[in-house]
Structure 1
Amino acid sequence: MAEQKEIVITEVCPRDGFQSLPIIPTGVKVEIINAILACGFKQLEVTSFVHPKAVPQLSDADEVLMKINRPENVILRALIPNLRGLERAIYAQVDKVKVMLSATDSHSINNANSKTFDAMREFAPLVKRAKETNMHIGGSISVAFGCPYEGIVPMERLIEICKRYEQLGITEISLADTTGMANPVSVKRVISNVRDKFPDFRFSLHLHNTRGMAFANAVAGFDEGIRDFDSSIGGFGGCPYAPNASGNISTEDLVHGFEEMGINTNLNIDKIIEVAKDLQKRFPEYSDSFILKAGKISDLHLAPPGQVKLGE
């Protein structure tokens, strides 16, 4: 059987990107999200139903979901921190929710004011409530490839977290390189181990480009069987609870790189670049994208005028 040369990219700029930017008016958010939806994404992380005081940039989550276009073939996803957030997500009729979890206690205390496994105990009522509505619920593991406070996360720790997710009935897990500490070798090591232990799980990668290694890490993940990736148009994003956590890998860089390798993304790269350029104009100091700087490989240029050939 031929290898699957296709991936699914979930656009997360409306959540991960917007939460790291100055507060954007709701109408502008709706305009940007509708432009993103026109690029062909099949899944979009629209927002996070966190307390407005914690992340004021996303305080209008309910209104945004009420006003954006909602194509029938697009899955709208949101992060939820607790039961209150889940109820808001249910009311807003999102298609999928994802719970937030840190791999280490140090990051978890900063992110959720709770140690990792204590935080997981709070997920049981969320799973129960989600099942009552037939809403799909997935999980995440932040700082899975390295914590800025504790360093490399032991494999045993990641395995135990996955076991506890399995006990909860959550088998779709996002592995996040929250502060860009991963490298291709560590990505392969983590993914090969967790996929070996949990073959029925669907793992995805959420990569930050803090140290310029995100695309190499994405390719390493693809080599290990990952077919689901998160990215953010323009490279916007960053964890507010992690020091020096620059943005996600830009969607245009990820799409362009994989398409050049012959791996289909089913996305319109030119429309994505248009949206990225618009965001760059609005927030130039937050943009981080190689394609916005250099253009696509296929963007050829006229040779400099007045060149004299060698030997003439």
Structure 2
Amino acid sequence: MGLVLPEKVTIIEVGPRDGLQNENHFIDTETKKKFIQKLVFAGVQEMEITSFVSPKWIPQMKDAASIVISRPRGIRSIVLVPNRKGIEKLLGTDCKNAAIFIGVSNSFNRKNVNKTTKDSMEELIPIITDLKTKGFFIRACISTAFYCPYEGKIPIEDTIKLCREFAAVGVDELSVADTIGMATPAESFLLFSELKRVFPSVMIAAHFHDTRKMALANIYTALQAGIDRFDSSAGGIGGCPFAPGASGNVATEDVVYMLERMGIETGINLEKLFDAIDVIAPHLSREIESGYYRLTKKAKDKM
């Protein structure tokens, strides 16, 4: 019997939010809007566009309200909201797609929101319940699902337990992250196989960082485990302000290239995706690391 893989995969583009939050400086709002629009032109149908976070701690997202107001219609534009204050700001808009985040690791969670994982859940559960009654799509972002920069390896039971708490209150999607890029393909297959078994009716997305250049291998084994939703960032931009040593997210163009070459449909046009990266690249504090983008750009420059 041959290997069974999904025929189609959904890419959730996280560049405008997770990608830009770790920049050393603020990127102007009009450039962000153009970046987002170009990603839509490339075929992106689901995207984390910004986050309502404290500008004191994440100044790169201080223009969130403007980004949400001008967001593209016809796609699922998702806004990250870490707490009740963020939720209140989102409720002041007509956007109905919210992402919340929490670390399996208590140490990581404290660094992010100054609360233990348990305390965060106690705050989030009634918020999620309320948002569901208002017709919101809720995406739960599970950080440090494999490893934590402060606590080391995370037991698989801890990740499953946290996901179970979210599933019990009706979240629509679990985005499960290898936040510092330490997971191996075997660990990816094991965790996502178990998640698919335990939560057959919940959408599950895999979120990999490419710190140790294993993200594509981890995506491949997640595919084998039945995962057909993946977070990625155009140009591989990003990181995490509270995860020392973590590199950017896996590059959207590298994921799309691999999947399309394998006969798996993504709906994303690579040439148009490069146009989006060209918009944001000059404004970044570091060069684009994506191998496929750099090779393609070098070839174009020689023409």
- Shorter-normalised TM-score: what interval? over 0.9
The reply on whether 1:211 has 2:212 as its aligned counterpart is yes
CA distance in structure 2 between the partners assigned to 1:252 and 1:272 by the alignment? 7
| Alignment partner, residue 262 of structure 2 | 261
> For residues 124-158 of structure 1, what are the alpha-carbon distances to aligned partners after superposition, in whole Å with 9 as ceiling and x for unaligned?
22113312321111212101111111111111111
> For residues 252-299 of structure 1, what are the alpha-carbon distances to aligned partners after superposition, in whole Å with 9 as ceiling and x for unaligned?
111111111111101111110122233333326242201122239x99
CA distance in structure 1 between the partners assigned to 2:6 and 2:218 by the alignment? 19
CA distance in structure 2 between the partners assigned to 1:255 and 1:79 by the alignment? 24
In structure 1, give the amino acid aligned to 2:203.
R
The reply on whether 1:105 has 2:135 as its aligned counterpart is no
Percent identity reads 35
| Alignment partner, residue 19 of structure 2 | 17
**Which of 30, 35, 48 is the equivalent residue of 2:33?**
30
CA distance in structure 2 between the partners assigned to 1:78 and 1:123 by the alignment? 15
Structure 1 length as normaliser, TM-score? 0.90
The DSSP-based 3-state class of the residue aligned with 1:226 is: coil
The DSSP-based 3-state class of the residue aligned with 2:154 is: coil
The reply on whether 1:82 has 2:51 as its aligned counterpart is no
| Alignment partner, residue 309 of structure 1 | none
| Alignment partner, residue 175 of structure 2 | 174
The reply on whether 1:246 has 2:284 as its aligned counterpart is no
**Which of 47, 51, 63 is the equivalent residue of 1:48?**
51
| Alignment partner, residue 273 of structure 2 | 272
> For residues 21-51 of structure 1, what are the alpha-carbon distances to aligned partners after superposition, in whole Å with 9 as ceiling and x for unaligned?
2201112211221112111111111011111
Q: What pairs up with 1:148-159 in 2 under 5 angstroms?
A: 148-159=149-160
In structure 2, give the amino acid aligned to 1:49.
F
* Residues 129 and 169 in structure 2, CA contact (< 8 A), matched pair in contact too: no
* Residues 146 and 156 in structure 2, CA contact (< 8 A), matched pair in contact too: no
CA distance in structure 1 between the partners assigned to 2:286 and 2:125 by the alignment? 41
| Alignment partner, residue 232 of structure 1 | 233
CA distance in structure 2 between the partners assigned to 1:283 and 1:242 by the alignment? 19
| Alignment partner, residue 63 of structure 1 | 66
| Alignment partner, residue 117 of structure 2 | 116
In structure 2, give the amino acid aligned to 1:146.
Y
Paired residues in the alignment total 297
Moved more, 87-96 or 206-215: 87-96
CA distance in structure 2 between the partners assigned to 1:93 and 1:287 by the alignment? 34
> What RMSD in Å do the two structures reach over aligned CA positions?
2.0
Moved more, 270-279 or 180-189: 270-279
| Alignment partner, residue 293 of structure 1 | 294
Q: Which structure is higher in RCO with an 8 Å CA cutoff and minimum separation 6?
A: 2
Moved more, 9-18 or 276-285: 276-285
Structure 2 unmatched ranges of 5 or more? none
| Alignment partner, residue 5 of structure 1 | 7
| Alignment partner, residue 144 of structure 2 | 143
- Aligned-pair distance for 1:216? 0.8
Distance 1:7 1:153, change over 3 A: same
Distance 1:136 1:171, change over 3 A: closer
- Aligned-pair distance for 1:196? 1.8
* Residues 8 and 227 in structure 1, CA contact (< 8 A), matched pair in contact too: yes
Moved more, 101-110 or 282-291: 282-291
* Residues 288 and 294 in structure 2, CA contact (< 8 A), matched pair in contact too: no
Point out the structure with max Rg over C-alpha.
1
Q: Stretches of 4+ moved more than 6 A in 1? A: none
| Alignment partner, residue 42 of structure 2 | 39
- Aligned-pair distance for 1:160? 1.3
In structure 2, give the amino acid aligned to 1:19.
Q
The DSSP-based 3-state class of the residue aligned with 1:246 is: coil
Structure 1 unmatched ranges of 5 or more? 303-312
The DSSP-based 3-state class of the residue aligned with 1:229 is: strand
Structure 2 length as normaliser, TM-score? 0.92
